[in-house]
Every structure is written in structure tokens, then in C-alpha cells.
Amino acid sequence: MENSTLTVIVLLGLVGLRWVILGIGAALIVRPVTACPACAECTLALHKPWLRRLARWLEWRFCPGCGWQGPARRVPDAAHAPGPKRTHQPTR
């Protein structure tokens, strides 16, 4: 292999590594939310097929109260389901 070809391969590898690091950083920044960050109302998940193919852990949310739209990390379905009611029992 020529010296210039090896240099191009190394530089392309470094660019690819940069994209991987940026992708991991973006995945860590996006938080799992069900409430709007602007007005704290419940948000609705919108169906975006291109986003589903791009990242299965990501979903697009919409706030009907203020019109905010944005990405959010997918929240497990168990978090949305109401759990058993807990009653407070006073201690004696």
C-alpha cells in the first residue's frame, strides 16, 4: 500500500470514530420524558417511521398544551401503566 492510501484510510477511520463518539454522546444527552419541558403537561408520542428506523430507543414527543415538539428517549410501557394503589398505613 502506498503511503498516501494508508493516510486516507487512517483519516477516514478517525472521522468514523468521531461520528460514533458523537452518536453515543447524543444518546446520553436525550432524556426519557413524558412531561413537556416547557409547560410540564403530559406529551404524546408521535409516529415517525424514519426515526424508528434510525434509532429504536428514540421517539418524537408533542405537547398539545403549548405545541412543543422534540426528541425523547423511549420510556418503557411499564412506566406508563398505573401501578397498584398504595395506601398509607400509620405506624403505631
Give residue-wise pLDDT tens across range 16-29.
999 999 988 887 88
Give residue-wise pLDDT tens across range 31-52.
777 888 888 888 888 877 776 7
Give residue-wise pLDDT tens across range 65-84.
888 888 888 776 645 544 44
Q: Report the Cα 62 to chain-centroid distance in Å.
A: 14
CA distance 58 to 70: 10
